[in-house]
Amino acid sequence: MPSPSAQVPSSVVVVGAGLAGAQTAAALRKHGFEGRLTVLGAEGLPPYDRPPLSKELLKRTEPVWLADDLGIDLTALADDLRLADPATRLEADRERVVVRTASGDDVVADAVVLACGSVPVRPAGWDAAATLHTAADAERLRAAVVPGIRLVVVGAGWIGAEIAGVAAGGGARVTVVEAGPVPLERQLGRKVGGLLSPWYDDAGVTLVTGVAVDEVLPRPGDAAEGGSMRLADGRVLEADLVLAAVGARPASGWLAGSLPLEANGGLRVNRAGRFMGVRSPTDPAGRLHLDALRRIWAVGDIATRDHPVFGPVPGGHWSAALHDPEVTVRALLGLDERPAEPEHVRERLGLAPVPRHAPYVFSQQLGHDLALFGVPSPFDDVVLRGAHVSDDKRRNGHSSGGWAALYLENALDRHPRRTSDGHRVATVRAMLLVDSPREVGQVRKLMNRGVPLEVDLDRALDPALKLKDAVIRG
C-alpha cells in the first residue's frame, strides 16, 4: 500500500520507448498503477534491446524485441502509445507536467519519467561518417559491410571494437583510428587498455593510435558515407565507409532551458531516481518548486544516479536501464517510504533494504568477452588476477585462460589495514573480467552489495581461489 503521505499520481507520461522506458511502464502496471499511462517514443518501433545491434550486426536481420525477450508489450500497458512522436519540450509546475511532442500536441500528466536514452556523438563536419545507434543504423551498416569493403572506424571504445571485430570476421578490411594511446583508455585506463591492443592484430584489424581525426570527406560526387579521412598528423586514409564511434551522450537537448542539465547532458537524481534540481549558476533553467521536483523522475542513460558505494554514477549502463525503473516506480507510487535514505537510516526505521546494482557493461569484441562491474577511476591502483597472453605466446599459437583486472581504491590512508596473515586489505572499486564466464555470477553478487567490497588482496589475486573466499566480511 502507498504511504499515507504519498501523493499517488493519476497520470504518468514516460518519455522514451527503449529498455528503460519499457521497464518503467511494466513496473507501473505491476505495482498496481491504474491511471492513465502515456509512452512517447522516437524511432517508430516497439522497444528492442540495443546491445545486439553491434555485437550481432551480421547475424541478426531484425532487432531483439523486448516483447519476445522480456515479455513487455507496450501496446497492452499504455493507454496512449506514440512510438514516433518524440518529446520536444517540458514544463513543470506545482500542479502538473506538460510534455510537448513533435506533432505539436501537449501531454498533460501528474508526473513524468524521463527515459529518453542517448544519441551518438558526431563531431562537427563529420556528416560523411555513419553512426550505429538505432535499428535503422544497423540495417544500413549491415547492408554496407560486405567482403572486401574498406571500413574505417573512428574510436576504439566499446562500440568501435565490437564493430571492428564483427566486420573483419565478415571479410571487411578494417582500420580503427583511436586518438588515445590505447583502446578503451577512458573506460579502463592505460594499463588495461594496453593489454587489449594485440587483439586487433589477432583479428586482422589495423589499429592506429595516438592520432586524432581532422576531417572526414565524402567520395567526390557521392552522398553516401565514406571517402577519405585526414588525420591530425597529415596522413590520409581512404575508405568505402567511415563509422564514427566516439561515444554517446544523453538525448536531452530538448530539455535545455527547462531543466538544469549537467555538463554531459545528464540529470542528477537521487537514489530513487527523483530529479534533485541541481544546477550551475550559469544554467538558464530556473529553480523549480519542491512540489514540481516531486513530479520529475529519470532513469537510464539520462540519469546521473546516486549510488551508496560508487557515488554519482552517470547513465549509459545497461544494468541501470534494466533495474533502476523498479526502484523508481515504487518511490513514485509511494510504495516505498524514504527510498533515497542511506541503508543504515532505513534499517533504524524498520524498512527493507533497497536492491542495489553495480554499474555493468558487457562486451564481445575481437574474439573476447568482457564484463565490467563498478566504476574504474584514473586514480585507482590496477592489479591483475590470472595471466594475459604475452606477445611471444600469441605468436606461437598459445591461447590464454581468463583473467581479471581489479581496480583498487587509492585512498590517502595513513593507517593501511592488514589481515592476521599480514596481507593487504584492499577496497575494490571496479572489476573487469576477461574470458571468465564462470566468474561473472559470483562477481556480480559481490559488487551488487550496498557496501564497498573489501578483499584480502593476496587471496584475491590467486586464481586458484574463488574470489568470494577473499572477501573481508564486515
Mean pLDDT of 127-136: 93
Lookup: cell for 4: 499515507
Q: What is the pTM of this model?
A: 0.90
Rounded CA gap, 300 and 18, in Å? Answer: 9
Hunting for cell 542511506 — which residue is that?
342
Confidence of residue 6 (pLDDT cuts 50, 70, 90): low
pLDDT in tens, 249-289: 999 999 988 888 888 899 999 999 999 886 555 555 557 77
Rounded CA gap, 303 and 324, in Å? Answer: 10
Q: Which pLDDT score is estimated for 95?
A: 92
CATH fold, domain 11-119+249-340, is: FAD/NAD(P)-binding domain (3.50.50)
Q: Which pLDDT score is estimated for 4?
A: 47
pLDDT in tens, 146-167: 999 999 999 999 999 999 999 9
Give the least confident one: 12-21, 162-171, 343-352, 430-439.
Answer: 343-352
Rounded CA gap, 299 and 275, in Å? Answer: 10
Same fold? 135-246, 360-470: no
CATH fold, domain 135-246, is: FAD/NAD(P)-binding domain (3.50.50)
pLDDT in tens, 286-299: 577 788 889 999 99
Lookup: cell for 466: 574463488
Confidence of residue 459 (pLDDT cuts 50, 70, 90): very high
Lookup: cell for 57: 550486426
| Highest mean pLDDT of the ranges 263-272, 426-435, 445-454 | 426-435
What contacts 206, CB < 8 A, 6 or more positions away? Answer: 174, 175, 176, 200
HEC per residue, the chain: CCCCCCCCCCEEEEECCCHHHHHHHHHHHHCCCCCEEEEECCCCCCCEECCHHHHCCCCCCCCEEHHHHCCCCHHHHCCEEECCCCEEEEEECCCCEEEEECCCCEEEECEEEECCCEEECCCCCCCCCECCCCHHHHHHHHHHCCCCCEEEEECCCHHHHHHHHHHHHCCCEEEEEECCCCCCHHHHCHHHHHHHHHHHHHCCCEEEECCCEEEEECCCCCCCCCEEEEECCCCEEEECEEEECCCEEECCHHHCCCCCCCCCCCEEECCCCEECCCCCCCCCCCCCCHHHHCCEEECHHHEEEEECCCEEECCCCHHHHHHHHHHHHHHHCCCCCCCCCCHHHHHHCCCCCCCCCCCEEEEEECCEEEEEEECCCCCCEEEEECCCCCHHHHHCCCCCCCEEEEEECCCCCCCCCECCCCCEEEEEEEEEEECCHHHHHHHHHHHCCCCCEEEEHHHHCCCCCCHHHHECCC
Confidence of residue 336 (pLDDT cuts 50, 70, 90): confident
Q: Tell me if the domain spanning 360-470 has CATH number 3.10.510.20.
A: no
Rounded CA gap, 8 and 333, in Å? Answer: 5
State the chain's mean pLDDT as an integer.
89
pLDDT in tens, 40-52: 999 999 999 999 9
What ranges do the domains of the chain cover? 11-119+249-340, 135-246, 360-470
